[in-house]
Amino acid sequence: MRAPVGFIAVLMLTLVGVRPLRAGAAFGDPGEGFVPPDKNIAGCENTVVRLLARNAACLDRCTFGAARVAWHRGKPFDDERCEAKCGAALVRAADALFGKGTCPSCITVISPTEVAMLTEQASNIGTGLIACAGTIPLGGDDGGFVPPDRATGRCELAVGHAVSRFDQGFLDCLLEAATRAFRGEPFDEATCMSATEQAYDRATGKLTGCPPCLGPNATVLRGQIRANFDVLRRLVYCASVSGAFLDSPD
């Protein structure tokens, strides 16, 4: 099944590659970003994070649906139509948001269509990290293989759900941190993120019937999600007048 990590990976691929840092912007450590300078920008940046989370959840539903078909039928399944609907929904929502005129240029310079396309591509590339056992390709542009037996299928599906919860949990922590920072209220983001990581470790650590390739791959996914999240954090919360940072969770 496909690893649902695309929404974070795509921001690294797209934002870093397309948009240079603004002159005079000192971002400091990778885990930092600017406190939104006003209510409109705070609303835009928070909404961007929610849209990315919604897109990830949509792609996850496509993934899990395709995985169940492959598992029960033992055959490849192309989930392109489902993924295309997720991308179209992201583009519509982003276009509507940008049309309000409340977003900073460091956000609107990015094409929502390109983001949707790269999100799906990055997600497909991650497939092989979870669906790593078997010999029958999943089909379409998804990486990985149809599970060779039910135990493998159950394990891969469980890891996929754990990855999905990991992604969403980090975004929840980020949204809360940004909201509290804008209000001038304290929030222990490090503890929030640590609890999310521990939940992922518990979920993946207790699984049985897993193929040998999946254990190390689950660890790779954990590290990649955390590293990419730090980049997403500072690139979404990119606008500042005062230069005040969101505190790094590290």
| Contact (CB, 8 A) for 118 and 90 | no
More confident residue, 162 or 123: 162
pLDDT-based confidence at residue 60 (cuts at 50, 70, 90): confident
pLDDT of residue 245: 52
The pLDDT of 134-142, averaged and rounded, is 79
Is residue 81 predicted with pLDDT exceeding 80? yes
- Tokens matching residue 183: 């209000």
- Tokens matching residue 191: 């503890």
* The three-state (H, E, C) secondary structure of 73-111, written as one string: HCCCCCCHHHHHHHHHHHHHHHHHHHCCCCCCHHHHCCC
- Tokens matching residue 173: 């922590």
Q: Partners of 137 in the beta sheet?
A: 145
CA distance 197 to 203: 10
Spans of all domains in the chain: 6-15+36-242
DSSP 8-state symbol, 212: T
In the chain, the amino acid numbered 80 is E
pLDDT-based confidence at residue 243 (cuts at 50, 70, 90): low
Q: What is the pLDDT of residues 163-213, one digit of tens each?
A: 999 989 999 999 998 998 888 888 898 899 999 999 999 999 999 889 999
Instruction: Note the pTM of the prediction, 2 decimals.
Output: 0.82
pLDDT of residue 223: 87
CA distance 144 to 200: 22
- Tokens matching residue 13: 């691929």
Q: In Å, how far are 13, 14, 79 from 58, measured between CA atoms?
A: 20, 20, 12
For 22, half-sphere exposure in the C-beta direction (CA atoms, 13 angstrom radius) is 18
The pLDDT of 92-116, averaged and rounded, is 94
SS3 163: helix
pLDDT of residue 6: 42
